[in-house]
Structure 1
Amino acid sequence: MEEVLEDLIRSYREPYLQKDILGISDLSSSSIKIFEHVFLYAKFYKITIHSNVLPGFQNKICQVLKNLVLQDLTTKSGLLKKINPEIFSSYIAYAIFGLIVEWVNGNFSYTPAYMSEQLIGILSYTTFIT
């Protein structure tokens, strides 16, 4: 489990490792690695989502994602002046995990690249909602 979580962290951080500020326009499907990570560990994620073999591990994954957002993204940006960082990080973590759950439930019917494109589209769309 620790190996999976360590790889999850590496995969999540990949798009912004070499950047001070990451904009949506900087993202490409090839730069987003989290879905490649999930696909690599597909059996593990299926077990985690579809059974009670690893109780509480879904929450652990969400907590890891939330901590990544808190540590890496909210501290690098002065943009979160009006948004509570705890609420923001929870939103991002559960949104990403929700995409993972839907993908697993669909038996990985899409490629990791497609899922990455969808994430970019979702992020782009939400920035234009007024």
Structure 2
Amino acid sequence: MDKNVDRRVRRTKTQLKQAFIKLMGEKNYDQITVTDIVNQADYNRATFYRHYNFKEELAEEIISDKTMELIETFKYPYKKKSLIHLNSLSPSDIIVFDYIMENKDFYKLWGKFESIPRFEESFLQSIARFYKKEIILLTPNDSELDDDLYTSFYANGILGMIMDWIKKGLEPDPGYMAKQLIKILNYYPAESFIGNRETGVLP
């Protein structure tokens, strides 16, 4: 009986979340009401309030769910072994872009979700915190290199690439992005200079 109840609860909450995401594509966050959500999900208000106190609580749970799911994609290459040599990674080891594409109904609304207070900050901080706490980067043998700063630079660089891809509408395709991320992870530092990026004029 408990399993059946749990299954019904999960199904109901899933449908409420799907209804909310669909409404985010049609309205601004502050325009969406509990009545809108239950009408979209074909439930009544009593059902909603059995699971959530207000729409903000529903939104927070969606953000938490998506954050944890995304974190699981970062763990994927470590499922079989705890030590990974970056130069041994293949595009098939990088599933984060495929996952985002599979959940494009949510990620293509990133700009709309940014209207939810602390949405992007909460989302990115959770992922960066995971990366810093659970991924140990074997840094170059340099006593003057701060390992925490190195990991922070590394994690935020990867997140920046992913977020830029999301905000550009999930283009190019996930396979291309996975290949590029691997190339970037294994690339030696490039020389830098001040020039014109558009014209290619060097100093």
Give the RMSD, CA atoms, in angstroms.
2.4
2:171 to 85, 93, 109: 109
Judging changes above 3 Å, is the alpha-carbon distance between structure 1 residues 65 and 94 closer, same or farther for their aligned structure 2 residues?
Answer: same
Deviation at 1:78, TM superposition (A): 6.8
**2:67, 2:127 within 8 Å by CA — same for their partners in 1?**
no
* Aligned-partner Cα distance in 1 for 2:93–2:170: 20
Which one of the candidate residues 64, 72, 94 is aligned to 2:134?
Answer: 72
Tell me which of 175, 189, 192 is aligned to 1:129.
189
The alignment's TM-score, normalised by the length of structure 1, stands at 0.78
CA distance in 1, matches of 2:139, 2:163: 31
The number of residue pairs the alignment matches comes to 126
AA in 2 matched with 1:129: P
Stretches of structure 2 lacking an aligned partner (at least 5 in a row): 1-62, 191-203
In the aligned structure 2, how far is the partner of 1:44 from the partner of 1:89?
28
Aligned residue for 2:90, secondary structure, equals coil
2:66 maps to which residue? 4
The runs of 5 or more residues in structure 1 that have no matched partner are: none
- The partner residue of 1:28 within 90, 114, 121 is 90
State which of 87, 90, 95 in structure 1 corresponds to 2:149: 87
- Higher-Rg structure is 2
1:4 & 1:110 partners in 2: Cα distance?
22
**Residue 36 (structure 2) aligns with:** none
Shift of 1:30: 0.7
Distance in structure 1 (CA, Å) of the matches to 2:76 and 2:151 = 18
Q: Give the structure 2 partner of residue 62 of structure 1.
A: 124
Structure having greater relative contact order (Cα 8 Å, sep ≥ 6): 1
Alpha carbons 2:67, 2:123 under 8 Å: kept = yes
Q: Distance in 2 between matches of 1:82 and 1:62?
A: 28
Identity of aligned residues (%): 25
Cα distance in 2 between the residues matched to 1:23 and 1:87: 20
The correspondence of residues 17-56 of structure 1 with structure 2, limited to 5 A, is 17-48=79-110, 50-51=111-112, 52-56=114-118
- The whole-number CA distance in structure 2 between the counterparts of 1:111 and 1:86 is 32
1:18 Cα deviation (Å)?
A: 1.9
Q: Which amino acid aligns with 2:153?
A: Y
Q: Report the CA distance between 1:10 and its aligned residue.
A: 0.8
Task: Name the SS for the 1:10 alignment partner.
Answer: helix
Q: Is the 8 A contact 1:63 1:93 kept in 2?
A: no
